[in-house]
Amino acid sequence: MDIEELKKAIYLTAQRKYKEAECLYNQLLADNPEDAALLSAAGLFYVEQKDYDKAAGLLKKACAINETAGTVSALGFAQYEQKQYAGAVRTFERALQFGENVDVYNKLILSLFEVKDYKKAIELTKKMKELYPDNPKTIANLVKSYTQQGKMLEAERICIEYLQKHPEEPSLWYHLGLLKELIYSDDLRAIECYKIAGEQGSQSADYNIAVAYQKLGEYKKAEEYYKKFLQKFPNENTGLISLGMCYLAQKKFEEGYSLVSARTGGIGDKYTKNLWKSGTPLDKDIVIIADQGFGDRIQFVRYLPFLKEHNIKVAVNDSLKKLFETNYPDIGFINYEEINPDTQALRITDLAYALNMDFNNIPFAEGYLDIEPADIKSDKKKVGLCWEAGSSGRRSMINRTIHIKSFESLFDLNEVQLYSFQVKDSFNGNEKYGDKMINLARDFKDFFDTARALKSMEVVVTVDTCVAHLAGALGVRTYLLLPYSADWRWFDSEKITPWYKSIEIFKQKNAISWEDEIKDIVKKLSD
């Protein structure tokens, strides 16, 4: 390889003459396709251009020929930006074998958090603290570790302590803002922190300000900051979806779904090459992809009967298949792996949009799933209870979850027999209150079992999770505890919802406390 030509390509890149540099790299690669140094340099060029797919391809090839600290680290960074977090973990672990590096440690820990290997992330954060005690990335990861462990006051203390000495660190202002949300539900203070983070150079500040304003119900300000964020990152999936959901919360059907339906990266997407796009007609043959959370899939399955003119198959996970097959016997349900990639695919959560059935035309609010009740006998009023929400995001999960201890007044109702529907039980409520309620959740194999048990309840008391959607779809009387800043689909409803006639809403009036809402439910159950 002509070293002078490679130096010239690097020089052109430094001069920001990217097209000329790319042409030269392509020419050199055509003549020297197996030169590790050239592959590495070209990979780094594409990292700088933010073309992470090309970068990762070249850097993988370079590593296969000759691994170096720089090449392996660069591959890890490219994989991280591709959101290939599991691969990034493996690559960064290899990079550390070449020697300690604060940036590699940082990205490895962030990747571990993304793959939800919290134990390992926390262990490495401790090691990073020993090696780089005053590095702001170390402090940020330490704060994140404490937050993940639920030690939020300790996380807040570390943030404040460090920022008193280094007020210019944007990542810690971001974490402090998040902690103001999670600990105190203080979105106004959170916004102040996010704005300082933005002034210090945080790229995500506008997004977080928008989220906080949306939680406060200040939709115009939320829209303003989502749009500011999208001006910097026009194709950023999370920003587009969030702005879309902000519109949907205001019942702006077309504006919201035009953004939300354009999202990428959902479950099932990798199995199709023919995903339905807004404005295009529906084909005769369609595969419906059950996407997003279990609650979403249950909520939107109601639209399947409106596709009678089409030949449809529905790709769904095993835990919902039996329940859906029982209620829609004329529809074929398949696994995601069975999707024909050439058949037009439509996400189940986009069905309302594709069918142009807006929020004034929500069908089957009285219920659309039915099942034989489980044989659960009691002389008392049978009341189901679910207190913890699942979610991919900490904000949403914490916002919708209520500590089991808050429900102790329900346990004192002599005329009520409580039944637990809580599968994921972070607070160990089933164990702590095993003498107060019967744990049905431990025997659930799938949602068919859950539905049978729900159908046998007289009332279900639940937070905003899939149990609420399933109870509503079955027409079971449900008392739904909604947080002060509820998910878009509940709109600004205070008592009723157009989605389910059997659901009565108890919406939080004070973002810090659930005391009044639970008192109201206790009174209703007593009456």
Write out the H or E segment, with its range, that includes residue 108: helix 102-114
Does residue 273 lie in a domain region?
Answer: no
Write out the H or E segment, with its range, that includes residue 313: strand 311-315
Q: What is the pLDDT confidence band of residue 270, given thresholds at 50, 70 and 90? A: confident
pLDDT score at 512: 85
The percent of residues in the chain predicted with pLDDT above 70, rounded, is: 99
Does residue 298 lie in a domain region?
Answer: yes
Mean pLDDT confidence for 336-349: 96
Summarised one tens digit per residue, pLDDT across range 371-430 is 999 999 999 999 999 999 986 667 778 888 999 999 999 999 999 999 999 998 888 899
Does residue 211 lie in a domain region?
Answer: no
In this structure, are residues 416 and 525 in contact, taking their beta carbons and an 8 Å threshold? Answer: yes
Does residue 325 lie in a domain region?
Answer: yes
Question: Is the same domain home to 327 and 456?
Answer: no
Question: Is the same domain home to 321 and 394?
Answer: no
Question: Is the same domain home to 333 and 452?
Answer: no
**β-pair type (332-334, 344-347):** unpaired
Question: Residue 499's closest CA among 464, 452, 526, 523?
Answer: 464
Distance of CA 251 to the CA centre of its chain: 22
**What tokens appear for 262 in the block?**
């354009």
pLDDT score at 267: 85
Mean pLDDT confidence for 253-266: 93
Domain that holds residue 422: 381-526
Give the end of a domain, one of 339, 354, 369.
354
Question: Residue 147's closest CA among 159, 161, 136, 164?
Answer: 159
Angle at 460 between CA 454 and CA 395, to 5 degrees: 105
Cα separation, 59 vs 37, whole angstroms: 10
pTM > 0.75: yes or no: yes
Reduced to 3 states, what is the DSSP secondary structure of residue 384?
A: strand
Mean pLDDT confidence for 93-106: 94
In this structure, are residues 69 and 88 in contact, taking their beta carbons and an 8 Å threshold? Answer: no
Does residue 522 lie in a domain region?
Answer: yes
Question: Is the same domain home to 340 and 417?
Answer: no
Q: What is the CATH number of the domain that holds 421?
A: 3.40.50.2000
Does residue 127 lie in a domain region?
Answer: no
Mean pLDDT confidence for 168-183: 94
Q: CA-CA-CA-CA torsion for 197, 198, 202, 203, nearest 10 degrees?
A: 150
Residues 6+ apart with CB under 8 A from 186: 180
Cα separation, 252 vs 132, whole angstroms: 49
Bridge-partner residues for 479, per DSSP?
461, 504
Cα separation, 255 vs 246, whole angstroms: 10
Residues 6+ apart with CB under 8 A from 226: 206, 207, 210, 239, 242, 243, 246
Question: Is the same domain home to 415 and 316?
Answer: no
Q: Report how far apart, in Å, the C-alpha atoms of 398 and of each of 156, 158, 252, 512 are.
A: 17, 21, 27, 12
Q: Report how far apart, in Å, the C-alpha atoms of 53 and of each of 58, 60, 311 are.
A: 9, 11, 36
Summarised one tens digit per residue, pLDDT across range 16-69 is 999 999 999 999 999 999 999 999 999 999 999 999 999 999 999 999 999 999
Does residue 94 lie in a domain region?
Answer: no
pLDDT score at 524: 94
Cα separation, 184 vs 182, whole angstroms: 6
Number of domains in the chain: 2
Q: Report how far apart, in Å, the C-alpha atoms of 266 and of each of 249, 260, 270, 382 are.
A: 21, 11, 8, 38
What is the chain's percent helix, strand, coil content, to nearest 5? 55, 10, 35
Does residue 158 lie in a domain region?
Answer: no
**What tokens appear for 398 in the block?**
């914490």
